[in-house]
Structure 1
Amino acid sequence: MGFIFVLNGKRLKNVLLIIFTALFTAWFLFVQNYVQVPVFSTDQGPKAFYRGDQGVVLSFNIGWGDEKAEPILDTLEKLEVKNATFFLSGAWAERHPDLVERIIKNGYEIGILGFNYKDYSGIKDEEIRKDINYALTAFKKLGIKKVEFARAPTGHFDERFLKIADQYGLDVVHWSVDSKDWTNPGKDAIVANVSKAKKGDIILLHASDSAKQTAVALPLIISSLKDRNLEIIPLSQMISDAEPKSSEIK
Structure 2
Amino acid sequence: MHPRFEAIYRVNTIKKCIALTFDIGWGGKVPTPVLEALSASRVKKATFFLSSHWVLERPLLARKIKNHGYEIGSHGRLHQNYTEHSNRWITREVRAAESIIRKVTGVKCRLIRTPNGDMNQRVIQLLGSLGYSTVHWSKDSMDWTNPGVRTIIRNSTTGVKSGDILLLHASDSARQTARALPSIIRKLRRQGFVFVTVSELLSMRSR
Which of the pair has the greater relative contact order for Cα pairs under 8 Å at 6+ separation?
2
Aligned to 2:87: 125
In structure 1, distance between residues paired with 2:144 and 2:151 = 12
The equivalent of 2:193 in structure 1 is 230
Q: CA deviation at 1:44?
A: 4.6
| Structure 1 segments of 4+ aligned residues over 2 angstroms from their partners | 143-146
Q: Which residue, 71, 74, 96 being the options, matches 1:134?
A: 96
Residues 128-167 of structure 1: matches in 2 within 5 Å?
128-167=90-129
Q: Does the C-alpha gap of structure 1 residues 144 and 243 become closer, same or farther in structure 2, counting only changes over 3 Å?
A: farther
Corresponding residue to 2:40 among 78, 89, 97: 78
| 1:243 CA displacement | 4.7
Pairing 1:203–2:166 present: yes
TM score, norm. by length of structure 1: 0.78
Give the RMSD, CA atoms, in angstroms: 1.5
Structure 1: gaps (5+ residues): 1-42, 245-250
Matched, 1:214 2:173: no
Q: Distance in 1 between matches of 2:178 and 2:203?
A: 29
CA contact (8 A) 2:75 2:115 kept: yes
Who is 1:241 aligned against? 204
TM-score, with structure 2 as normaliser: 0.93
Matches of 2:119 and 2:6, distance apart in 1: 12
CA distance in 2, matches of 1:118, 1:243: 34
Shift of 1:137: 1.1
**Residue aligning to 1:31:** none
Amino acid at match of 2:69: G
Unaligned runs of 5+ in 2: none
- Per the alignment, residue 45 of structure 1 pairs with 4
Determine whether 1:100 maps to 2:62: yes
The CA deviation string for residues 195-218 of structure 1, in whole angstroms up to 9 with x for no partner, is: 122211000000011111101101
**Matched residue of 2:49: which SS?**
strand
| Aligned with 2:147 (options 185, 210, 214) | 185
Paired with 2:161 and 2:128, the residues of 1 have a C-alpha distance of 28
Calculate percent identity across the aligned residue pairs.
38
CA positional deviation for 1:145:
3.0
Residues in 2 aligned to 1:233 and 1:116: alpha-carbon distance in whole angstroms = 28
* Number of equivalenced pairs: 202
Opposite residue 164 of structure 1, the aligned amino acid is L
Query: 1:209 is matched by which residue type in structure 2?
Result: D
- Counterpart of 1:142 in 2: which secondary structure? helix
Paired with 1:211 and 1:234, the residues of 2 have a C-alpha distance of: 21
Q: Secondary structure at the match of 1:48?
A: coil
Partners in 1 of 2:69 and 2:204 — Cα distance?
Answer: 19
SS at match of 2:80: coil
- Kindly state the Cα deviation for residue 144 of structure 1 after the two structures are TM-superposed: 2.5
Bigger Rg over Cα: 1
Letter in structure 2 aligned against 1:51:
R
CA distance, structure 1, for counterparts of residue 174 and residue 153 of structure 2: 14
